[in-house]
Amino acid sequence: MTECDVLVIDDEPVVREGVRRVLEASGLRVATADDATSGLRHPALAVCRLVLCDVMLPDRSGIDVLNELARARPGLPVVLITGYATPDLAERAQEAGAAAFLAKPFEASELMECVRRALEVRAPQEERAWRS
């Protein structure tokens, strides 16, 4: 499990597997978790370069995961995905330092575009985290 680029946390199997298929086709290595607790304990978290996390998880919210990760792995880009994107949620996600916000449902190309950008901005994000 040390070989991983993206960790996907979503309670919906079809979303997890769909994202895995699209990302793996682009050569990214993907690990998945179905709730916040197992995601935050996932061994892939130590090595991955990006986390895709659903906002509405059965045990905790994606914002919580985002905050946990900011402590555990500062600078790791996190993309929040949600089926219920309110401006309020978008604002909270931005304040918590989400790399991007992806509204369900999305096309494969939209997903790839979002992931690519998140991976690109990794460097400046890490820099900022380090400075603060």
Partner 1 sequence: MHTRIGVQIVAAVGLVTALGIALLATVTLRTHRREMIAQLTRSADLLSETVKRSTEDYMLENRREYIRRQIETIGRQERIERVRVFNKQGRIVFSSDPTEVGQALDKRAESCFACHAQDRPLEQPPVQDRARIFTNGSGHRVLGIVNPIQNQPACASAVCHAHAPDERVLGVLDVTMSLADVDQQIAASRNRIIALAGGCIAVAGLLLWALSRRLVSRPVEALAAGTRRVAAGDLTTTIPAGARNELGELARAFNAMTARLAEDQRQLTQADKLASVGRLAAGVAHEINNPLTGVLTYASFLLDRAQENAELHADLEVIVRETKRCREIVRGLLDFARQTPPRRQPTDLNTVARRAVAVVMNQLQLAHVGLTLDLTTDLPPVQADPNQMQQVLVNLLLNAADAIGERGGTIRVASRQAQLAARGHEPIRRAACPKGCDLLDPGTRVGGLYAIRILREYRGREWGYCLDPVYGRFNHVAPEPWEEGVIAPAACPRCRTTLVEPEGTCERCQAPTLAVLGPNDEPIQWCTRTGCHFTRWAAREQRGPAPVVEISVEDNGRGIAREHLPKLFEPFFTTKGVRGTGLGLAITWGIVEGHGGTIEVDSEPDAGTRFTIRLPLEDAEPVRSAA
Out of 111, 114, 115, 118, the residue judged to bind partner 1 by CB under 8 A? 111
Whole-angstrom Cα distance, residue 96 to residue 1? Answer: 28
Closer Cβ to partner 1, 60 or 104, answer by number: 104
Q: Shortest Cβ distance from residue 58 to partner 1 (Å)?
A: 13
Confirm or reject binding of residue 104 to partner 1 (CB under 8 A).
Answer: yes
Q: What angle do CA 31, 35, 38 make, to 5 degrees?
A: 65
The dihedral sign for the CA sequence 18, 23, 27, 28? negative
Which residues ranging from 45 to 64 are in contact with partner 1 (CB under 8 A)?
A: 56
Which residue in 118, 101, 109, 105 sits closest to 48, CA to CA?
118
Site for partner 1 contains 94 (CB under 8 A): no
15 binds partner 1 (CB under 8 A): yes
Q: Residue 93 and residue 86: Cα distance in Å, rounded?
A: 11
Choose one: 8-16, 40-48, 62-70, 72-80; the region binding partner 1 (CB under 8 A). Answer: 8-16
